[in-house]
Amino acid sequence: MKPKVTLVGAGPGDPDLLTLKGAKALAEANVVLYDALANVEILAYAPKNAIRIFVGKKIGNHAYTQDQINQLIVDNALTYGHVVRLKGGDPFIFGRGSEEVEFIESFGIETAVVPGISSVVAVPASLGISITKRGVSESFWAITGTTSDRKLSADVALAAQSSATVVILMGMHKLPQIIDLFQKEAKGDLPVAIIQNGTTSEEKVGVGTVNSILEIVKEKQLSSPAIIVLGEVVRESNKLKGFYEEFLSKEITR
């Protein structure tokens, strides 16, 4: 069989948000290598006899290194034919998809990419947060909270100075540093939403302000994987009005 690798974006978590093209690619897979953030229900689209290999990474628990994953993709393509690399969200948004494509193509193996619905926009949208809104926010930043050297991205400090909506992925372990940067810009009253396991049945939400969100995270026991949204658009969400009314009532009684 001719070796081929298709990178498929699994979407933000809800299996129904997989694209039709992604489902079709999975239906033609001989092997599926899937990430921790890819909903396992999506694997049902692959043939029953397709080989399924979990290659997910979680903090402190990496099943494989990135180099090992790259080699696994190539080895399985050369041995079995069509490999689908299933990645959470979109393969090219904080997903290291381009690195994998470059490695695979260095062996002369054909590649294809099926874009996925990114959690950057889909998770806020599922809670009625429009990350751009006329008269409120003209643009947005999408930032990884933790860089390859495990540090907070320097872009967060720049984003804190702007009037744009800021969406941070993989930032929960850096949340105190993120909050500090926004407080330094006198944005203590800026609305914040933190959405854990967005678009799934395990979704948890915390809403507050820059000054209060650390306490809310502790109270609601929020943790990774979660998306942090900072901006006035959070206050505009109809779906979050109840959260905000509860938050404001607590503030008044203090």
| Catalytic, out of 14, 35, 90, 187 | 35
In DSSP terms, which residues pair with 133 in a beta bridge? 137
Supply 153's token pair. 């991205």
| Catalytic, out of 170, 172, 174, 187 | 170
> Is the separation of the CB atoms in 27 and 45 below 8 Å?
yes
Supply 155's token pair. 């872009």
35 is catalytic: yes
Peptide bond preceding 3 in cis form (omega within 30 of 0): no
DSSP letters spanning 45-60: GS-TTSEEEE--EETT
57 is catalytic: yes
> Is the separation of the CB atoms in 236 and 130 below 8 Å?
yes
Give residues with Cβ within 8 angstroms of 155, minimum separation 6. 141, 143
Q: How many residues does the chain have?
A: 254
How many CA within 13 A on the CB side of residue 206?
21
| Catalytic, out of 57, 204, 220, 250 | 57
Residues designated catalytic: 35, 57, 170
